[in-house]
């Protein structure tokens, strides 16, 4: 149960910091299997904290995740930034989606390459395997 809570927390914090991310990007960044990202993402959507966003510039029916206004507000308090939270930044449909995705993809690929070259695998914030 603690692993489930940690996975939810890490996904929410990542979406707060990086705005929109695909399940694959979250998987690489946090070290969880993609199936776990989908399960947690689905639960967060049911709670109304996360919504899916179409990534039309990718092949197929690719979707990513972004925080809802209520999700962003909760995570802001979780990160100790609740007093500075601005609802205005979270009320519009994600802007510059291709740019945000591309920037995140660049850095996620750097992380992935470093992990592959060093023979390591990340496992979330605390370094555990992260697979739930």
Q: Which domains does the chain have, with CATH numbers?
A: 2-118 (1.10.10.10)
Asked whether the predicted pLDDT for residue 24 surpasses 90, the reply is yes
Please state, for a pLDDT cut of 70, what percent of the chain lies above it.
86
- pLDDT (mean) for 31-40: 93
More confident residue, 94 or 59: 59
**pLDDT class of 115 with cuts at 50, 70, 90:** confident
With 0-12 / 13-18 / 19 or more C-beta atoms within 10 angstroms meaning exposed / middle / buried, residue 38 is middle
Structure tokens belonging to residue 15: 């979406």
Tokens 């993402």 belong to 41
Average model confidence (pLDDT) across the chain? 85
The Cα 41–Cα 46 span in angstroms is 9
Collapsing DSSP states into helix, strand and coil, what is residue 21?
A: strand
Give the containing element (helix H, strand E) for 5.
Answer: helix 2-18
**Cα–Cα distance for residue pair 34/36, rounded to 1 Å:** 5
Q: Does residue 74 or residue 127 have the better pLDDT? A: 74
What average pLDDT does the segment 88-94 reach?
A: 73
């Amino acid at each position: 149960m603690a692993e489930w809570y940690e996975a939810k927390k890490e996904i929410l914090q990542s979406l707060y910091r990086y705005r929109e991310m695909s399940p694959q990007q979250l998987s690489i960044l946090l070290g969880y299997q993609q199936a776990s990202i989908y399960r947690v993402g689905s639960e967060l959507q049911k709670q109304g904290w996360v919504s899916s966003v179409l990534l039309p510039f990718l092949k197929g029916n690719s979707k990513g995740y972004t925080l809802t206004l209520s999700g962003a507000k909760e995570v802001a308090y979780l990160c100790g930034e609740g007093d500075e939270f601005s609802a205005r930044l979270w009320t519009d449909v994600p802007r510059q989606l291709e740019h945000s995705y591309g920037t995140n993809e660049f850095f996620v690929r750097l992380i992935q390459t470093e992990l592959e070259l060093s023979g390591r695998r990340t496992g979330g914030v605390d370094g555990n395997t992260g697979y739930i």
